[in-house]
Chains A and B, each alone.
Chain A
Amino acid sequence: MSTVTVGDSPASAPTPLVRPAYKVTGLRVLRSEWAKMWSLRSTWITLGLSLLFLVAFGAIAAADYRSDLGSGRPLEAAEASATALGLSVFGTNFAQLAIGVLGVLATAGEYSTGMIRSTLAAVPRRLPVLWSKAAVFGLVALALSTVGVVVAFLVVGGIVSATPAALPVSHPGVVRSLLGAGLYLGLVGVIGTALGALLRSVAGGISVLVASLMLVPGLVALLPGSWQDDISPYLPSSAGESMFALTHDATALSPSAGLAVFLGWTVLALAGAAHRLVRSDA
């Protein structure tokens, strides 16, 4: 089996089975995961929803701001300080749910359906599957989200033009914030795939995702103030927000520190997923 003659001539002794030489490579696993992702209807629906959330919620927030401004009534504090950028990333909260859930489905869905057995039979070394899923989904989520927030910014800019919230794209921090929002959502997608692989359960993965992005910040708010200031900035949600917020108050992390912390959370989730994938029976 192990001896393969290179360039054997037709005259050489006939082997009982002449079979083609296939080989598993990292790039091919990536290709397979790419094909798997796009061959499911849920991918198209969920990604479409994410894009819709980003653009539509931004537009709704902007329209709301404009109508409140036009009504002549005094604006609420949050609205008074609103910027076109803040309104454009308003949809991020909703899009992160759709993207995170799709990430969980990409991995945990293989366990719930049994597909994982086919996947791991083809790639028994296992880890390339996790890296490929995370890379494919993370990059798609990154690209889609970046397009989403940029479109949202253009739409919002049109709606709030000639109001105090109007902001040119050349304004310091605007481009960084838009790219930060795209990157944040891309990483949420990676965290989703990691949680799905770690917990091997769609319901479990979604629960932990929602809890860590949306519930934990609320719980931390119940802690004494000084603790809050120490913990809160490092939570995934706060660190992520630092990546796409235009301005940062004293307690918030800087955009780059926010990115570093959020990357840390991502790596942690991936490491847990890798450990479980390699150690546990499929």
Chain B
Amino acid sequence: MIEAHQLTKRYGEKTAVDRLDFVVRPGAVTGFLGPNGAGKSTTMRMIVGLDAPSGGSVTVNGRAYARHTAPLREVGALLEAKSIHPGRSAFDHLMAQAHTHGIPRRRVEEVIGLTGLQSVAGKRAGAFSLGMGQRLGIAAALLGDPATVMLDEPVNGLDPEGVLWIRNLLTGLAADGRTVFVSSHLMSEMALVADHLIVVGRGRLLADTTVRELVERAGGDTVTVSSDETARLREVLAGPGVEVTGAAGSEELHVSGLSSQEIGLRAAEHGIPLYELRSRTVSLEQAFMDLTRDAVEYHATTDVETPGRAA
């Protein structure tokens, strides 16, 4: 569980993180989304105490990260940049980390196996490829068997097999009941694994939502249906969670909350002829772009509250 209250980080004039409020809950994968420079990495650095907040606070499992007796057991973090000495072998790096907490050698070997680093564990980490480096970072993050796993752009530099492996790892960790917090600037990647989304832009919270809600807000998955009996069709389709819109006098209706199959079946049941039945899926990427672009525009022109502030 990660809780941020009015978390702020300023570097001189520039505000990298601006009064963020959010909660990352256990048992789910929470995506941390935002364009480059949105303040994701800075937020993550504050969570593990590498940077001190200029204002507000962030706690992990109820207290500041540094106040835990076994920090690596609370949060396992993979941070943006390489956090290793290139002259040390992967095994020695993990063992050095393990020593600080009294983590046994057995666990070091376990995470090496888990991340598929067995064959290169004895090699100098400086010679690792980007993907191997990421795996080593993830091994280090898992070392303390942490309740919260926090990964900054974990799929960077991974091959398709590695990306799939990360996805399974994340969902597996969440299924264990752990808190999983993963940043990315790729909405499409997040949509596949994240249950919950925290979207930031220019350091501000834009949305604290689910993938489904985000899609709905961006227009949702709608079905366009045409008929000359729109009035009857509206009655037939009406129901809880169903929204039907359409210009008066038009033959076209836009329906959300029902699939094209359901609409077709109901129309057939009531003998309503349909001229067109077409489903339209909102691209998550597009929804995300709209959300973040708005933020940038608002920020640059006026101080109007960004759309997500209400969330």
Stretch from A61-69, A88-96, A122-130, A220-228 at the B interface = A122-130
B83, chain A: closest CB distance, angstroms: 4
Are B49 and A124 neighbours in the complex by a CB distance under 8 Å? yes
Are B48 and A124 neighbours in the complex by a CB distance under 8 Å? yes
B63, chain A: closest CB distance, angstroms: 9
Bound together, the chains give a CA A122 to CA B83 distance in angstroms of: 12
Are B50 and A118 neighbours in the complex by a CB distance under 8 Å? no
Are B99 and A40 neighbours in the complex by a CB distance under 8 Å? no
Bound together, the chains give a CA A278 to CA B291 distance in angstroms of: 38
Within 8 Å by CB of A28, from B75, B87, B99, lies B99
Bound together, the chains give a CA A122 to CA B87 distance in angstroms of: 19
Are A35 and B101 neighbours in the complex by a CB distance under 8 Å? no
Enumerate chain B residues within 8 angstroms of A22, measured Cβ to Cβ.
Answer: 70, 72-73, 101-103, 144
Are A114 and B89 neighbours in the complex by a CB distance under 8 Å? no
Kindly state whether residue A275 has any CB partner on chain B within 8 Å: no
Are A28 and B147 neighbours in the complex by a CB distance under 8 Å? no
Stretch from A12-20, A173-181, A207-215 at the B interface = A12-20
Kindly state whether residue A113 has any CB partner on chain B within 8 Å: yes
List which B136-158 residues lie within 8 A (CB) of chain A: 140, 144-145, 147
Within 8 Å by CB of B72, from A29, A117, A121, lies A121
List which B42-57 residues lie within 8 A (CB) of chain A: 45, 48-52
Range for the number of chain B residues in contact with chain A: 35 or more
Kindly state whether residue B93 has any CB partner on chain A within 8 Å: yes
| A114/B82 contact (C-beta < 8 A), A24-B70, A282-B50 known | yes
Are A41 and B96 neighbours in the complex by a CB distance under 8 Å? no
| A115/B52 contact (C-beta < 8 A), A28-B100, A36-B88, A121-B77 known | no
Enumerate chain B residues within 8 angstroms of A35, measured Cβ to Cβ.
Answer: 92, 95-96, 99
Are A282 and B51 neighbours in the complex by a CB distance under 8 Å? yes
Kindly state whether residue B66 has any CB partner on chain A within 8 Å: yes
B contact patch SS: loop
Are B65 and A29 neighbours in the complex by a CB distance under 8 Å? no
| A122/B81 contact (C-beta < 8 A), A22-B144, A28-B102, A281-B51 known | no
B138, chain A: closest CB distance, angstroms: 13
A121, chain B: closest CB distance, angstroms: 5
Which residue of chain A lies nearest to B74 when distances are taken between CB atoms in the complex? A1
Enumerate chain A residues within 8 angstroms of B92, measured Cβ to Cβ.
Answer: 35-36, 39
Enumerate chain A residues within 8 angstroms of B77, measured Cβ to Cβ.
Answer: 121
Are A29 and B85 neighbours in the complex by a CB distance under 8 Å? no
List which A121-167 residues lie within 8 A (CB) of chain B: 121-126
Enumerate chain B residues within 8 angstroms of A78, measured Cβ to Cβ.
Answer: none
Which residue of chain B lies nearest to A116 when distances are taken between CB atoms in the complex? B83
A101, chain B: closest CB distance, angstroms: 15
Kindly state whether residue B243 has any CB partner on chain A within 8 Å: no
| A31/B99 contact (C-beta < 8 A), A24-B71, A118-B140 known | yes
Range for the number of chain A residues in contact with chain B: 35 or more
Kindly state whether residue A21 has any CB partner on chain B within 8 Å: yes
A32-61 vs B, Cβ < 8 Å mask (1 yes, 0 no): 100110011110000000000000000000
Kindly state whether residue B15 has any CB partner on chain A within 8 Å: no
Kindly state whether residue A23 has any CB partner on chain B within 8 Å: yes
Are B100 and A115 neighbours in the complex by a CB distance under 8 Å? no
Bound together, the chains give a CA A231 to CA B49 distance in angstroms of: 43
Kindly state whether residue A110 has any CB partner on chain B within 8 Å: yes
Bound together, the chains give a CA A123 to CA B48 distance in angstroms of: 10
Bound together, the chains give a CA A109 to CA B88 distance in angstroms of: 12
Are B85 and A40 neighbours in the complex by a CB distance under 8 Å? yes
Kindly state whether residue B223 has any CB partner on chain A within 8 Å: no
Enumerate chain B residues within 8 angstroms of A114, measured Cβ to Cβ.
Answer: 81-84
Bound together, the chains give a CA A132 to CA B147 distance in angstroms of: 28
Are B177 and A28 neighbours in the complex by a CB distance under 8 Å? no
25 contacts between A and B (CB under 8 A): A1-B62, A19-B73, A21-B70, A21-B73, A22-B70, A22-B103, A22-B144, A24-B70, A32-B100, A35-B95, A36-B85, A36-B92, A113-B82, A113-B86, A114-B81, A118-B83, A118-B140, A120-B50, A121-B71, A122-B71, A122-B101, A123-B100, A124-B66, A124-B68, A282-B51
A35-B99, A125-B66 are known; give 15 further A-B pairs, CB within 8 A. A19-B145, A24-B71, A25-B102, A40-B87, A40-B88, A109-B85, A113-B82, A114-B84, A115-B85, A116-B83, A118-B83, A118-B84, A118-B93, A120-B49, A282-B50
Give A residues with C-beta under 8 Å from B. 1-2, 16-17, 19-25, 28-29, 31-32, 35-36, 39-42, 109-110, 113-118, 120-126, 281-282
**5 closest Cβ contacts across the A-B interface?**
A16-B177, A124-B66, A32-B99, A39-B92, A117-B83
